[in-house]
Structure 1
Amino acid sequence: MPEIIDLSQEIFEGMPVYKSLPQVKMSVHNTHEEWDNIENPTTKTPAVYKLEMGEHTGTHVDALNHMAAEYKDLSIDTMPLSMFYTEGICLDFSHKKLQELITSKEIQIALSKSDLTIKKGDTVLLYTDHYRKHFNTENWSKGPGITAECARWLGEQKIAAFGVETMSPGVPKVSNKEVHHICGELKFTHYENMINLYKLIGRNRFRFIGLPLKIRGGTGSPVRAVAIFE
Structure 2
Amino acid sequence: MTDALLGAVQAGVEVVDLGRQLRVGMPQSPNHPAFWHTLPRRHGDMVRSDGSSAANDMITTGTHVGTHIDALAHVSFDGKMHGGVDAVAAGVGGKYDELGVHTIAPMVRRGVLLDVAGHLGVEHCEGGYEITVADLEATSARQGVEVGEGDVVLIRSGWGSRFAEGAPYVGGPSGVPGVGEAGAQWLADRRVHAAGADTIAFERLAPGGGHALLPAHRVLLVEAGIYIVEALDLEGLAATGWAEFTFVLVPLNIYGATGSPVRPLAIRSAATA
Write the deviation string for residues 159-198 of structure 1: whole angstroms up to 9, x where unpaired.
0111111100112348952111111210101111111344
1:192-203 map, 5 Å? 192-200=230-238, 202-203=241-242
- 1:74 shift after superposition: 0.9
Unaligned runs of 5+ in 2: 1-11, 82-89, 91-97
Unaligned runs of 5+ in 1: none
Write the deviation string for residues 57-105 of structure 1: whole angstroms up to 9, x where unpaired.
1000000000215225311111233xx2211111112232112011122
Matched residue, 2:8: none
- 1:45 shift after superposition: 5.8
Q: Distance in 2 between matches of 1:89 and 1:175?
A: 29
The one-letter code sitting in structure 2 at the alignment partner of 1:113 is R
Matched residue, 2:80: 70
Q: Distance in 1 between matches of 2:180 and 2:225?
A: 17
- 1:28 shift after superposition: 0.8
Q: Distance in 2 between matches of 1:79 and 1:151?
A: 20
2:127 paired with 1:98: yes
Q: Distance in 1 between matches of 2:135 and 2:212?
A: 16
Q: Is the 8 A contact 2:35 2:60 kept in 1?
A: yes
Q: Quick one: which of 58, 73, 88 aligns to 2:66?
A: 58
2:26 paired with 1:15: yes
Q: Is the 8 A contact 2:16 2:236 kept in 1?
A: no
Identity of aligned residues (%): 24
Q: Is the 8 A contact 1:129 1:198 kept in 2?
A: no
Q: Is the 8 A contact 1:147 1:179 kept in 2?
A: yes
The residue matched to 1:97 in structure 2 has which SS?
coil
Q: Distance in 1 between matches of 2:192 and 2:152?
A: 6
Matched residue, 2:204: 171
Q: Quick one: which of 208, 211, 216 aligns to 2:247?
A: 208
Q: Distance in 2 between matches of 1:134 and 1:27?
A: 23
The one-letter code sitting in structure 2 at the alignment partner of 1:89 is V
The one-letter code sitting in structure 2 at the alignment partner of 1:109 is A
The residue matched to 1:191 in structure 2 has which SS?
strand
Matched residue, 2:4: none
The one-letter code sitting in structure 2 at the alignment partner of 1:74 is L
Equivalences, count: 225
Q: Distance in 2 between matches of 1:134 and 1:28?
A: 26
Q: Quick one: which of 130, 136, 139 aligns to 2:168?
A: 139
Matched residue, 1:227: 266
The residue matched to 1:199 in structure 2 has which SS?
helix
Which deviates more, 206-215 or 194-203?
194-203
Structure-1-length-normalised TM-score:
0.88
Which of these two proteins has the greater Rg computed from alpha carbons? Answer: 2
2:181 paired with 1:148: yes
Q: Quick one: which of 175, 181, 185 aligns to 2:218?
A: 181
CA 1:25–1:217: 2 relative to 1, 3 Å: same
Indicate the RMSD between aligned Cα atoms, in angstroms: 2.4
- 1:135 shift after superposition: 3.2
CA 1:166–1:103: 2 relative to 1, 3 Å: same
CA 1:165–1:204: 2 relative to 1, 3 Å: closer
Matched residue, 1:2: 13
The one-letter code sitting in structure 1 at the alignment partner of 2:258 is T
Which deviates more, 85-94 or 205-214?
85-94
Q: Is the 8 A contact 2:114 2:243 kept in 1?
A: no
Q: Distance in 1 between matches of 2:63 and 2:247?
A: 21
- 1:220 shift after superposition: 0.5
